[in-house]
Structure 1
Amino acid sequence: MAASGSDALRGPIDGLPALPSDLDPRGKHRGRGEHGGARHGLLLGTQVLGAALSTLLVVVYGVYWWNYHTFNAGLHRLPIFGSAAHRPSHDIDGKDQNILIVGNDDRESATDAELALLGTGRDGGSLNTDTMMIVHVPGNGKKAALISMPRDSYVAIEGHGMGKLNSAYPDAYTATTGSTDAKRAAGGRLLISTVQNLTGLTIDSFVQVDLLGFYRISNAIGGVQVNMCRNVQEVNSGIKLHQGINVVKGKQALAFVRQRYDLPNGDLDRVQRQRYFLTAAFRKLASAGVLLNPLKLQRLLSAVQSSLYLDEKINLTDLAGQMERLSANSIVGQTIPSDGFGTSPDGQSIVKVTPATVKTFVNRLIGNTDSKVSSAKAVDPSSVTVDVLNGGSGNGAAATNAAVLRQIGFVIGTTGDAGSQSTSTVIQYSSGMESAAKALVPYVPGATLQQVSGLKHITLVLGADQLSVKPKVTASASSSGAAQPTTPGATSKSAAAAPKPIDSGCIN
């Protein structure tokens, strides 16, 4: 016999907890004989309040159940992990979760009204995954990492030779026959395999966001606050923002994450914007103003649902359990290190990357330090000569940072331009310089260590990530995953300093 509506509310629904019996509106009513007549008035008032609270709980519980099941039932699932063949044999981070988030110009879910508002058509899309990030969610609930990968990174793509990272998805998509979902799944699998070979991480979950994702999500949460370093107006993307604080939503939010032209560091600034936007959006999503407002929550669920393609195994409940322990302040964001810009044999502009360097960087970023530098004994800064080179950090950055290092006590060698662009700030050292490198690491929080042969001095290459030398050691040095030396002069107060969140400063 089927359970009645009230009985159905008593038991758990698909794993959701049942209401406590004392808050269940159908619970046993205790009468006068059980409690005594003198307390009847108090009990009546308590029962009325209890009934009201119980009814509210039932309503909230029902709304949550309806939202969860409506949302989950409408998700677009792709058979990504049907085979484990694309997974590397060794996962460097154990039980932590790594979610590959990709965005492309798929316009299938866009309405005619949305396309008209954006001034585009349904046939102008692209399969290229121009947004690619790994969200590393630690199993221990500590610092998460948002790892950006430039779309033009030149990498090995299984079965297709060398190519840009953003071409892996369309390479497999176009080579696959069958349904559109079968093609999407093939594209996702090849991209996952390529990213895993580049970073050494096992990708546990796959999330694809279409063109309208940023547009819809920003509208649903009432916009995202961004702090611009300068006035920005560019015709190709349609962006128009003033220096300082702006709230971007809809078309401007889409332009903010898609602009490539008229940026000081081109595509490198673009990936920083995407990381910045997602962090700012996460900060707003974590606020009570969104999560506790039924109307905003419903708009958000509807927006996300129509813009996402997920792998078939991702468990949103488990993932939410890990994410709820995080805040925007506990997310460390970096772009993978590069060897500058270049040109492919067929004449395309590319970003040169070395997988071994990327894997070392990822290890350090997520807290797995196995470098020779981490086991070395730091020397006094006065015995270390540092060359400071500008690889994309802005005019005068080399001289400014060299001056700070000189005040700390380091000896300054050469200052000037690096000769090529670098996505990340890098401390370069040669064999035998491990102790000298360890002395510098704490003063450049977030920098990547890189062993290079033939250097005369420790070399600090200031990258497009805008990292800079800090006069005192901060905890962000350890949060970057770089070596964690015992530094002369470091105090407990400075060691306790919290790293700045990704979206705390201005953005190009």
Structure 2
Amino acid sequence: MLAGAKVALTVLSVLVLAATGYYWGRIEEFRASLTTADVIGGLEERPADGAVDILMVGMDSRTDARGNPLSDEQLRMLSAGVSDGELNTDTLIMIRIPNDGGKAYAVSMPRDSYVDIPGYGEHKINSAYLRAKNDAMERLEEEGVTDDADLQVRSNRDGAKKLIATVEQLTGATIDRYAEVNLLGFYDITKAIGGIEVCLKAPVDDWRSGARFPAGKQNLSGVAALAFVRQRHGLPNGDLDRIVRQQVFLNGMAKKVFSQDLLAPGSDTLDRLQDAIGKSVVLSKDWNVVEFAQDMMDLTGGKMSFQTIPVGTPDLDTPEDGSAVEVDPDEVQEFVAGLVGTKATSSPAPPDDSSTSPSQITVNVRNATGQTGLADSVASSLADEGFTRGEVGNAQARERTVVRHAAGEQALGQQVAESLGGSVLVERDENLAEGSVTVLLGSDFSGPGTNNGFAAKPLLRLDPARTAQQDQPDANGCVN
């Protein structure tokens, strides 16, 4: 299930209303229809960690947003294959919006990531919510709570809090806003907007998810859309390919909403959206969606990039949870902090060593942008400044440019970074030899050696960074 697409549609729909002035009289009614939960404290105007972080969660839930069970008819309608487990969090996406107004990032976390869940030990991250919810249900029943809908809503709140704490511990970010969506919402919302166009590299036929599609472009909504974003069996890279599908779907949904034709005067789309969102979306308390939507105006105009946290083996053998996705919290925190140009640690950088001559620094350059010849061009530019030319080649596609230095030689990395324009991330690489620096050129690079100051970066990237096992859309936008 695609939490990101559903919640983004909620926010973007309000934004279109506010920006165009079509339905000013309906905005308050739209906002009043949302279900809220007190799972996060107040939001500071400028969060100390450098960004506003929104956790968007897709739930494999058999109840609606108000805790009422879905009917047998609704469950049959949603039967896009076999459930992966009731109340597991199928989708986890953190939207990171820098305080400085820079590019926003949608960061996916694989549902099977093996992490430490506070109070429960190491387990798959998608079980954090359910573990806390089950304990809360037992406690509430012992306290005498008997109303089933009340039990569901109150225990869900505990589940959300535990999931938030788990994500914060993994990423080092402070979650400022929370949004949760269930299966029914995805079905209703995709039907309401007339579906989303997707493209597959090859045909698929998976009985578990119900995904049975030909190769090529096709418009999906309802059960078919649900099957598309839930399939992971039969894909070359399993859950990592499913994440790419979800990110592509989110991109298509955002673009469709921002076309503004969807909510033009006289359209009944808003009524259908309001009904669908009211039944399926839970937002953290005191989240002014209208104000936030106005701040997100640029997100589909080249200022949002889709990423995935760095992962290790996707087949990690665990004591209790079977096969899981390996993650290193230190690496994840370094990656997340780097998205807003900050470091995961607070230790100050050592002073610049002005005695080091550029000729004493060997610089390797790796092109991770896809732009032909960029690494050679940048390496030549650095050589013209006196640096010793090292190895030149290509690397896994990435969004952010980084300069890596050997242990204890941050000054050398800073020296190279300044020659590249000074606005790149500098980090340590234990595998580098003394006197060596490696430059990984991301699509954000616009320094020396580029054509007209730009690295020919696309408006919207769909290739998650630092995930070697993960494919990316081809030239036609088709995915596995």
- TM-score (normalizing by structure 1): 0.67
Higher-Rg member (1/2): 1
Check whether the contact 1:107–1:122 (CA below 8 A) recurs between aligned residues. Answer: no
Q: Where does 1:155-174 land on structure 2 (aligned, <5 Å)?
A: 155-174=115-134
In the other structure, the counterpart of 2:454 is 495
Matched, 1:188 2:143: no
What is the count of residue pairs matched by the alignment? 407
Check whether the contact 2:413–2:426 (CA below 8 A) recurs between aligned residues. Answer: no
Give the stretch that moved more between structures: 257-266 or 290-299: 290-299
Measure the CA separation in 2 of the matches of 1:340 and 1:427: 25
Matched, 1:105 2:60: yes
The one-letter code matched in structure 2 to 1:252 is A
- TM-score (normalizing by structure 2): 0.70
CA deviation string 1:72-102 (max 9, x = no partner)? 3332222213x68xx99x95444x4221100
Check whether the contact 2:203–2:213 (CA below 8 A) recurs between aligned residues. Answer: yes
Any idea what SS the aligned residue of 1:222 has? coil
In the other structure, the counterpart of 2:147 is none
* Shift in CA distance, 144/405, structure 1 to aligned 2, threshold 3 Å: closer
Measure the CA separation in 2 of the matches of 1:198 and 1:91: 18
Measure the CA separation in 2 of the matches of 1:104 and 1:328: 29
The one-letter code matched in structure 2 to 1:270 is R
CA deviation string 1:418-453 (max 9, x = no partner)? 9xxx9x99987642676579979999xxx9986442
Matched, 1:232 2:204: yes
Measure the CA separation in 2 of the matches of 1:208 and 1:146: 15
Measure the CA separation in 2 of the matches of 1:246 and 1:143: 30
Check whether the contact 1:279–1:502 (CA below 8 A) recurs between aligned residues. Answer: no
CA deviation string 1:348-403 (max 9, x = no partner)? 212222222212211222343699799899979x9445799xxxx9xxxxxx9999
Check whether the contact 1:283–1:328 (CA below 8 A) recurs between aligned residues. Answer: no
Check whether the contact 1:146–1:331 (CA below 8 A) recurs between aligned residues. Answer: yes
In the other structure, the counterpart of 2:193 is 221
The alpha-carbon deviation at position 232 of structure 1 amounts to 2.8
Measure the CA separation in 1 of the matches of 2:79 and 2:111: 24
1:129 maps to which of 81, 86, 89: 89
Any idea what SS the aligned residue of 1:356 has? helix
Check whether the contact 1:98–1:135 (CA below 8 A) recurs between aligned residues. Answer: yes
* Shift in CA distance, 111/347, structure 1 to aligned 2, threshold 3 Å: closer
Q: Which runs of 5+ in 2 are unaligned?
A: 1-20, 65-69, 141-150, 380-388, 463-472
Matched, 1:254 2:226: yes
Give the stretch that moved more between structures: 265-274 or 104-113: 104-113
Measure the CA separation in 1 of the matches of 2:249 and 2:161: 26
Check whether the contact 2:79–2:223 (CA below 8 A) recurs between aligned residues. Answer: no
Q: Where does 1:287-326 land on structure 2 (aligned, <5 Å)?
A: 287-293=259-265, 294-326=267-299
Give the stretch that moved more between structures: 425-434 or 98-107: 425-434
In the other structure, the counterpart of 2:39 is 80
Measure the CA separation in 1 of the matches of 2:201 and 2:390: 32
CA deviation string 1:152-211 (max 9, x = no partner)? 112111111111111111111001033211111001111111111111221111111101
In the other structure, the counterpart of 1:281 is 253
In the other structure, the counterpart of 2:342 is 368
* Shift in CA distance, 236/374, structure 1 to aligned 2, threshold 3 Å: farther
CA deviation string 1:109-144 (max 9, x = no partner)? 345444223337999851111200111234554422
Higher helix share: 1
* Shift in CA distance, 160/460, structure 1 to aligned 2, threshold 3 Å: farther
* Shift in CA distance, 153/292, structure 1 to aligned 2, threshold 3 Å: same
* Shift in CA distance, 122/265, structure 1 to aligned 2, threshold 3 Å: closer
Give the stretch that moved more between structures: 162-171 or 226-235: 226-235
* Shift in CA distance, 359/311, structure 1 to aligned 2, threshold 3 Å: same
* Shift in CA distance, 412/220, structure 1 to aligned 2, threshold 3 Å: same
Measure the CA separation in 2 of the matches of 1:372 and 1:71: 49
Any idea what SS the aligned residue of 1:291 has? coil
In the other structure, the counterpart of 1:453 is 430
Measure the CA separation in 1 of the matches of 2:217 and 2:89: 29
Check whether the contact 1:103–1:131 (CA below 8 A) recurs between aligned residues. Answer: yes
Identical counterparts, % of pairs: 33
Check whether the contact 1:78–1:312 (CA below 8 A) recurs between aligned residues. Answer: yes
Any idea what SS the aligned residue of 2:274 has? helix
The alpha-carbon deviation at position 238 of structure 1 amounts to 1.7
CA deviation string 1:257-315 (max 9, x = no partner)? 11111112111111222222122211111111113243112212222221111222211
In the other structure, the counterpart of 1:71 is 30
Greater relative contact order, per chain length (Cα 8 Å cut-off, separation 6+): 2
Measure the CA separation in 2 of the matches of 1:459 and 1:253: 46
Check whether the contact 1:282–1:328 (CA below 8 A) recurs between aligned residues. Answer: no
Any idea what SS the aligned residue of 1:495 has? coil
Measure the CA separation in 2 of the matches of 1:191 and 1:183: 13
Check whether the contact 2:59–2:88 (CA below 8 A) recurs between aligned residues. Answer: yes
Measure the CA separation in 1 of the matches of 2:404 and 2:283: 39
Measure the CA separation in 2 of the matches of 1:263 and 1:128: 21
Any idea what SS the aligned residue of 2:325 has? strand
